[in-house]
Chains A and B, each alone.
Chain A
């Protein structure tokens, strides 16, 4: 990155960073000024201090929960992509099943978390992966089917003019054209997988899990630890989303809809 580019991105990000700093300061100041009780809202400085003191156990708990989220993400997204390929290749099947996928995407799937805990065992990480996987499955399925099927008809016509068969059109046109849609689904799924794992843990799990740490800390009125746990969960969530977004940038840098500037 050149000096000018660094300077440019600093200028670009300065307003957001300023809002963040002012927000934290206002939080700190208002809690102190109105003497807000700690169980309602601890000061950011207290949360930060607790986060630092408990960093070892919070990190372990974060990793434990992130592994559940990642496992669920991998499982749910792969199944979503696989189903999407099948539904796009065999349209009648897609026509029969997709309405249910769209409907399922609109229901609060997280409500099934206690059922998953019953099925796979409270202490088994797979129960959390399962709920995360179900949460990830539908958005990935829906966006990928849309990507595979909403290809410009002229680009299909062009392939037909080259006497290309359906398999070739699928491999050379539909799949690459679906990548931006797929990544839109994966970004949603990355967020949902962390939610699925943590909420799954709220319904019970080993004490090494982040959700259980947050739950227990709240139950025993240890609010700074609960908040520090939330900060750790947020950090993992943001990093996961960022990693998927980075993969998107590296994979679909050719996508014109990503361009917000002109070259000429």
Chain B
């Protein structure tokens, strides 16, 4: 303390020295430090997920045999309905391939689906992100589409050996090309800051003036393959309000996103099978 009093400018000189050193530090070193510190934290997040799983296991273990038998019966019904859907999908795929060959159409991009568990959520005012338990060692690439059971979840922003950061569709920095169901005209979707205690929301821009939507008559907003990240037709949200745009040519609108997005437990990453379809960000 006495040295601080004798030389009151010392903290400022040290601070200026640090700021200069930080500014002059090569980006490679900063990147190395970032990856190192991230990798130090990743096992802690994975461990907390494992502990959570163990808690769930002990809760389930307390269930009676009757409850388990009922659950197995419900799952068996669900499985048979899924089997029917798989058969239906296979016949639809064959039909698409037949039509593509017959009409000489460009082939639609195919994706490999990789399932991943969410190990951390970070929904701050400035960004919405989740961390998943699959990384580039499992073939995850930057820019890949991430979906969940209600539609588009987001996009891979960063990949690490066994974890990846996903930027959610509700994040203020998220932007993607989209379209309305049964309408091929492209529009722009952008995430915005979400108010607390409410469902996630977003905004859409460049909406043609003939499109109308309201809370009673919402329009389904789906992904478009024009952006190069997502395949066609995955649900993003519903357009519930159309407002006049600032340019007077196009409108803008409020998009409601499914509230389950912020409590999602499992996601699927869509990896393009043919890299010629992949966006520049997606190429390894």
Q: Are A and B part of the same complex?
A: no
